[in-house]
Amino acid sequence: MKDRITIAIDGPAASGKSTVGEYVAKKLDYLFFDTGIMYRAVTLAVIRKSIKPEAESEVSKLAESIQIDILPPSCPDGRKADVLIDGDDVTWEVRSKEVEANVSLVSTYKGVRDAMTGQQRRIGSRGDVVMVGRDIGTVVFPDADLKVYLEASAEVRARRRYEELLERGINSDFQEILSSTKRRDEIDKNREIAPLKPADDAVIIKTDDLTIEGVVEAILSLVSKIGLIVDGR
């Protein structure tokens, strides 16, 4: 039995990676690490400094100069973690529409990806981690012990995002969310560096008709197959 495990969960926007990853991590008592937050934090820093998201070299320079921290939640307002940029709490701001509209472009840049990938490897190499993102199984940890790729139609994912916003009291336009989801898929899948795709040895789980619990169950049974005991299985 291995004693240090890395689990990679990749998939498109709103495929349920974060919710599922968090449950799996809790069950195994592992660190949960949502790498999308780092790209969102860089994008927020770009907006705050009034840098144009199209200005690749300026954006990359900024990504290399800021310190992003992901810490256990400090208050019970529904957050999964505290997100800090240079010590400043930006947990909810990284979820804003403006960030969402620009994050896919910002994360196509080599300088940004190199800076974030380095930080992710440093944190993840301690092991016993569930890492979620777009390129964890293909680029960040190609040797991960278990690679899962979550898939769902754009319509189902947009509906989930719409309902998630509604739960936080934010009324939004479903069609707008749907077209933004499709636009992000397009950029994430077609970028030159580390495009979104399943690793050759990833297990693909289609989540359209599955509940969160169903997906978590499926992943936990894969975990038990690689030698970890979960709930006596």
Q: Where does this chain bind ligand DC (CB under 6 A)?
A: 13, 35-36, 39-40, 103-104, 107, 133-136, 184, 188
Query: Which lies closer to ligand DC via its Cβ, residue 37 or residue 228?
Result: 37
For the chain, give the number of residues.
Answer: 233
CB of residue 3 to ligand DC, shortest distance in Å? 26
Give the rounded distance of the alpha carbon of 194 from its chain centre.
Answer: 14
Query: Which lies closer to ligand DC via its Cβ, residue 22 or residue 135?
Result: 135
CB of residue 65 to ligand DC, shortest distance in Å? 19
CB burial of residue 57 (10 Å; 0-12, 13-18, 19+): exposed
Q: Are 41 and 94 in contact (CB under 8 A)?
A: yes
CB of residue 163 to ligand DC, shortest distance in Å? 16
CB of residue 73 to ligand DC, shortest distance in Å? 17
* The pair of three-digit structure tokens given for residue 35, joined into one six-digit string: 């790498």
CB of residue 152 to ligand DC, shortest distance in Å? 13
Q: Are 177 and 158 in contact (CB under 8 A)?
A: yes
Query: Which lies closer to ligand DC via its Cβ, residue 29 or residue 200?
Result: 200
Query: Which lies closer to ligand DC via its Cβ, residue 4 or residue 110?
Result: 110
CB of residue 120 to ligand DC, shortest distance in Å? 7
CB of residue 61 to ligand DC, shortest distance in Å? 19
C-alpha–C-alpha distance, residues 70 and 38, integer Å? 8
Segment holding 222, helix H or strand E: helix 212-225
Q: Are 5 and 226 in contact (CB under 8 A)?
A: yes
* The pair of three-digit structure tokens given for residue 113, joined into one six-digit string: 């990806």
C-alpha–C-alpha distance, residues 93 and 97, integer Å? 9
| Beta-carbon contacts of residue 70 (< 8 Å; ≥ 6 apart) | 33, 34, 37, 38, 81, 82, 83, 84
Query: Which lies closer to ligand DC via its Cβ, residue 34 or residue 228?
Result: 34
C-alpha–C-alpha distance, residues 84 and 5, integer Å? 27
